[in-house]
Structure 1
Amino acid sequence: MLKKITLTLAALLCWFSAAVTADVLQVRPDAPATYVVKPGDTLWDISGLYLNQPWRWPELWQMNPQVDNPHLIYPGDVLSLTFDSEGRPRLGLSSKRAMRLTPQGRTIHKNPDAIATLPLGIIRPFLSYDQAMSQQQIDALPYILGSNSAAKSANETNTLYVKGELVEGAAYAVYRPGRAYVDPDSGEVLGYETRLIATTRAFRSGQAGSEGTSFEPAAMRVLSVTREIRQGDKVIPAYDQQALPAQFVMTKPEQAVSGKIIASSSDLREFARMDVVVLNLGQSALRAGHMLGIYRQSPTVVDGSGKPVYLEDASRLQKVMRDFGGEVLKMPKEKVGELMVFKTSDNVSFAVVTQTDKPIRVGDIITNL
């Protein structure tokens, strides 16, 4: 009995040691000793030079007193790779040409030269404008009444009139509801895509015309147009570009996560690294910065008396009768990529694909790394 206990403890100790070793931060063998930050770099790009798992970059910056905020580095900064007394890798600054900014609360992209976590050109439209809204939310939005001309569309004018009260001087986006985001398992509509039509700025707040007051439409000047503006298009507040969250703290979710990719920004069947995808999980399950694995279910196999065949190759009659002539074996899921969540809403989230082993598809499974 004592021998069994000893062997069990030894096995557990070996497993624990292996687990700890596996979780030690490993630097790529070709990692540069020094690196000069260049315009257009991102934290993801720089971390990829040093780590096979770039999302673990905060561990690389730990315990560097010369770095007040590793989220904010600038072109011209010189980064140096060192190792502490326990052999743990550390990335620090050899020199600092630009003043560091210390954020209060959420990090804000105030300096246009600060290095962002991911390419802002890819996710900027989603951070600034794109939404996933319920029908109830859409119905409650202010909407376009018309323009200062009688044209059928407002593309040829720079003034739009709105039913609703706006904030004078604030930025607004004009939207048109698009496709429904549908949960593939339950069939529930999780929200609706909102397609950006134009960007505007309000110059008159308007009056709703409640009892005892006269009605006056709000008014906006058109800044840019992506497609034809129509009467009835919806109006939503837009973030000023100076307030974009350029930096994200990339972490694993603390709880178990299970969901699916339900759409992509490209509307293509397959997509690749740095494409934006939509998940059937909302802000109750995810937050910006969460890193997740993308997995694909391997096809089910029927192990019959002849040779194994894929379930999808069974005849129509076999599928109707549920008699496949052998044991139905469910194959495992295999990892095909990784993604980072950058925006959440009530029922869906937007994420950017950061790494792929195979082309990513709608229907791929999202779960913990």
Structure 2
Amino acid sequence: MFRKSLGLLAGMLVTVAVYAAGVELRADHPESYTVRRGDTLWGIAARFLSKPWLWPEIWQANPQVHNPHLIYPGDVLRLSLASDGAPSVKLVPQVRREDAPVPAIPLAELRMFLEDLRVENEQTVRDAPYVVGFEEARLRGTVGQNVYVRKLAAQPGQRWAIVRPTHAFRGFGGDGAGQGESIVGHRLDSDVSMVRTPWAEDARNDGHYGRGREIGIEVSVIGSAEVLRGGDPSTLLLLGSTEEIRKGDRLLPLDDKPYDASYFPHAPKAVPAGARVIAFSENVLDATGRSQVVALSVGARDGVENGQTYAIWQPGETIADDVASNSWDRGTGQSVTLPDEFVGHVMVFRTFDRVSYGLIMDGLKPVHVGGRLTLPD
């Protein structure tokens, strides 16, 4: 039995007249390419297209392609020149196999972040029920143990997410209504302050400690628990966790909002003003790179959608121009700001009102907080 929807990469790579100016194959493309396990459509497109993020537009221009995910390992792409000199691609159909289809992007690398990060109202997190202790007076909670929670109004059998605040997002400047506002992310020190403040902001890099307008609190979902007995404190059974549970960890309802099962990288129509990288996932303090998750200073309110792909440019350093200042003393006299440098592409995979999360798809250099977003061209 032959597949009728094997045209994805043909739709992805064929150059049609309407896109001839914007989409073209690389000059060094091979005569053929065999799809392999571990490939992604982004990676394949990056091999052959000068602008891989434009492949969805070509796919949309080919209505015969019904399912953009039915390309399988073993499918052969043959590249040649058409009679008019334009690049063309032929896909050789194969007998259906049991191999999994090739995804558009490495979704497995996103899944934990889709489930584990969310942005909440700051007061909501401050007032949330919290872990006050563990069975047998233990200092930490692990799977299978009872945890005791205060301020929880719940019935036996209900399940809750256990979260830990990781960043505070704050806005500076603008008109007070969010227009023209610059958003920064402050890492939260939960180790020393979960039971008191319930967090302390680390703003040593920008001097804005505790200032600015609240945008939201990023929390990481680190576990789940089921209510065994109500009361204050309530007794819950710890069902699962990615870290040891500590006193002061908060509880929030399980996030039942659906998220996309697949993503199609594409260029946005425009870039919102002030779009920048404002925070990293994990415990990264200085820089991050390919296949890592970053928080961006724009969200759904700015028109940001899943799949939108941006270029990241790192602001150029300001250095001393010793020649222009007619001085051989380093660091004195005139200065000059070096040009911004392109460091990679980021694709948005989850959005909130003012903040979104993106996966770094590729990169030439490390990505730092403050990197500005532009159109992928």
The TM-score with structure 1 as length reference comes to 0.68
Deviation at 1:149, TM superposition (A): 4.8
Q: Which amino acid aligns with 1:194?
A: V
Which of 296, 318, 336 is equivalent to 2:314? 296
Q: How does 1:78-117 map to 2 (within 5 A)?
A: 78-81=76-79, 87=86, 89-90=88-89, 92=91, 94-95=93-94, 97=96, 113-117=100-104
Q: What percent of counterpart residues are identical? A: 28
1:359 to 366, 369, 373: 366
> What residue number does 1:194 align with?
219
1:14 aligned partner: none
Matched positions, count: 314
Measured after TM superposition, the shift of residue 341 of structure 1 is 1.3
The answer on 1:124 being equivalent to 2:111 is: yes
Secondary structure (helix, strand or coil) at the match of 1:181 reads strand
CA 1:23–1:138 in 2, change beyond 3 Å: closer, same or farther? same
In structure 2, how many angstroms separate the alpha carbons of the residues matched to 1:183 and 1:295?
21
Judging changes above 3 Å, is the alpha-carbon distance between structure 1 residues 52 and 158 closer, same or farther for their aligned structure 2 residues? farther
Aligned residue identity for 1:284: R
| Aligned pairs for 1:204-219 within 5 A | 217=234, 219=236
Give the superposition deviation at 1:248.
1.0
The answer as to whether partners of 2:293 and 2:358 remain within 8 angstroms in 1 is yes
Go from structure 1 to structure 2 and tell me whether the alpha carbon gap of 1:145 and 1:299 turns closer, same or farther (over 3 Å shift).
closer
Amino acid at match of 1:281: V
Is the partner of 1:175 in helix, strand or coil?
strand
2:357 is the alignment partner of 1:341: no
Aligned residue number for residue 307 of structure 1: 324
Work out which of the residue numbers 35, 45, 48 in structure 1 matches 2:46.
48
Q: 1:88 offset after TM fit, Å?
A: 5.2
Equivalence for 2:268 = 253
Which deviations, in whole Å up to 9, do the C-alpha atoms of 1:10-43 show, x marking residues without a partner?
xxxxxxxxx98641322452345242342x3222
Q: How does 1:262-281 map to 2 (within 5 A)?
A: 262-265=278-281, 266-281=283-298
Task: Return the offset for 1:238.
Answer: 4.4
Task: Encode CA deviations 1:141-187: one digit per residue, 9 max, x unaligned.
Answer: 444465555434322643445514479576x5311112323458465
Q: Distance in 2 between matches of 1:164 and 1:75?
A: 51
1:131 is paired with a residue whose SS is strand
Q: Which structure shows the bigger proportion of residues in helix conformation?
A: 1
Matched, 1:175 2:163: yes
Measured after TM superposition, the shift of residue 59 of structure 1 is 4.0
In the TM superposition, what is the alpha-carbon distance from 1:135 to its structure 2 partner?
0.8
Alignment gaps of 5+ in structure 2: 1-17, 173-181, 184-207
Cα distance change, pair 329–232 in 1 and its aligned pair in 2 (3 A): closer
Unaligned runs of 5+ in 1: 1-18, 100-111, 210-214, 316-323
The Cα offsets for residues 85-110 of structure 1, whole Å up to 9 and x where unpaired, read as 763545646235159xxxxxxxxxxx
Which residue does 1:222 correspond to in 2? 239
- 1:203/1:220 contact within 8 Å kept: yes
Residues 181-231 of structure 1: CA distance to partner in whole angstroms, max 9, x if unpaired? 345846535333323432x35466x77x8xxxxx89474442234123335
What CA distance in whole angstroms lies between the structure 1 residues aligned with 2:52 and 2:166?
A: 34
Taking the aligned partners of 2:143 and 2:317, their CA distance within structure 1 comes to 54
Residue in structure 2 matched with residue 7 of structure 1 by the alignment: none
CA–CA distance in structure 1, aligned partners of residues 56 and 341 of structure 2: 27
After superposition, the Cα gap between the structure-2 partners of 1:93 and 1:150, relative to the gap in structure 1 and judged at 3 Å, is farther
Q: What RMSD, in angstroms, separates the aligned Cα atoms of the two structures?
A: 4.0
Residue 289 of structure 1 and its aligned partner are, at CA, apart by: 0.8
Contact kept, 8 Å, 2:26 with 2:50, in 1: the verdict is: yes
Q: 1:277 and 1:195, CA in 2 relative to 1: closer, same or farther beyond 3 A?
A: same
Name the SS of the counterpart of 2:168 in structure 1: strand
Structure 1 contact 142–236 (Cα < 8 Å) conserved: no
Distance 1:150 1:362, change over 3 A: same
Q: Which amino acid aligns with 1:56?
A: L
Q: Shift in Å at residue 292 of structure 1?
A: 0.7
Match of 2:56 among 46, 55, 58: 58
Query: Cα distance 1:218–1:238, how it changes in 2: closer, same or farther (>3 A)?
Result: farther
Which shifted more, 88-97 or 280-289? 88-97
Contact 2:276/2:297 (8 A) holds in 1: yes
Could you tell me the TM-score, scaled by structure 2's length? 0.67
Distance 1:36 1:69 in 2: 17
Call closer, same or farther: CA 1:288–1:82 in 2, change over 3 Å: farther
Aligned to 1:73: 71
Q: Is the 8 A contact 1:294 1:337 kept in 2?
A: yes
3-state SS of the aligned residue for 1:58?
A: helix
